[in-house]
Amino acid sequence: MNFCVCIKQVPDVSAPIQVRDGELVMDAGRVVLNAYDASAVEEALVLTEQHGGEVEVLLIGPERATETIRKALAMGAARGTHLVVPEGTELDSAAVSKLLADHLGGSTYDVIATGKQAQDTDSGLAGAMLAERLGRPYATNAVGLAIDGDTLIVTRQGDAGQEIIALPKPCLVTCSNDMNDPRIPKLKGVMAAKKKPIETVAVSDVPSTSVRVLRYESVPARDPGETIDGEPSEQAAEVVRRLHEASVL
């Protein structure tokens, strides 16, 4: 079974972040493979190691994002494709899904996998939009994958518990980072990644975006807590009174 995993280079969210004049100011140069996408790559690698097939990765980003493709290749992916957009290009979920669909239309991958969301935007929409554009059955928020013949068995985390879904191939799945612990590339994998092919495709027509960020603001500080004096019974009664006043009870 052959996989195409759509990946993204994102800022390292563990790096110091400041909001200054409505802009995010981050530690320059600290970018990583999106954690949800790393889990998708890992799960695809595990399944192809068990059942045969190959894993390819596909990324949209500026020229410097090639290093993130190399990370996935070092993990074990066979090859990568880089859809190159100019540095600083803003893409919302609809634009990302269109670029991916334009490239993947007519492809014969058994499974297209994505992270369920990106660490920098947390929108979680591109995967479902891509499935709709490609006309593929899909499942979201997968926490486990298995192969049964020509069927992908997806364990997904729903609102009320886990659900088991059987997807006929070709299909699409978005993956949670609760699915696994992505492998750390070894030196052999890092060296091998330097020789693996990366196809570079310059994007000449960048889709317009419908959603744009106007500004960033820091989370407002919480009001300080209040101590209620009196005996425990009096304190409890006062808490209940205030909850009633706030229409909580």
Which structural domains are found in the chain, ordered by start?
Answer: 3-202 (3.40.50.620)
pLDDT higher than threshold 70 for residue 27:
no
Mean per-residue pLDDT, 21-28? 77
> What DSSP line would sit under the chain, residue for residue?
--EEEEE-EEE-TTS-EEEETTEEEE-TT-EEE-HHHHHHHHHHHHHHHHH---EEEEEEE-GGGHHHHHHHHHHT-SEEEEEE--TT----HHHHHHHHHHHHTT---SEEEEESS-TTT----HHHHHHHHHT--EEEEEEEEEEETTEEEEEEE-SSSEEEEEEESSEEEEE-TTS--PPPPPHHHHHHHTTS-EEEEE-SSPPPPS-------PPPPPPPP-PPPS-HHHHHHHHHHHHHHTT--
Which pLDDT score is estimated for 76?
A: 97
What's the pLDDT at 188? 95
Question: Per-residue confidence at 26, pLDDT binned at 50, 70, 90?
Answer: confident
The predicted model scores a pTM of 0.85
Mean pLDDT (whole number) for 91-112 = 96
* Under 8 Å between Cβ of 201 and 82: yes
Cα 125 off chain centre by: 10
pLDDT value of position 17: 79
Q: Starting at the edge strand that comes first in sequence, how are the strands of the sheet with 55-61 ordered?
A: 162-168, 151-157, 138-148, 171-175, 111-115, 3-7, 55-61, 79-84, 198-202
pLDDT in tens, 181-206: 999 999 999 999 999 999 999 999 99
The per-residue pLDDT for range 122-156, each reduced to its tens digit, is 899 999 999 999 999 999 999 999 999 999 999 99
Between residues 20 and 102, the one the model is more confident about = 102
Mean pLDDT of the chain: 93
Q: What is the pLDDT at residue 134?
A: 97
* pLDDT of residue 28 exceeding 80: no
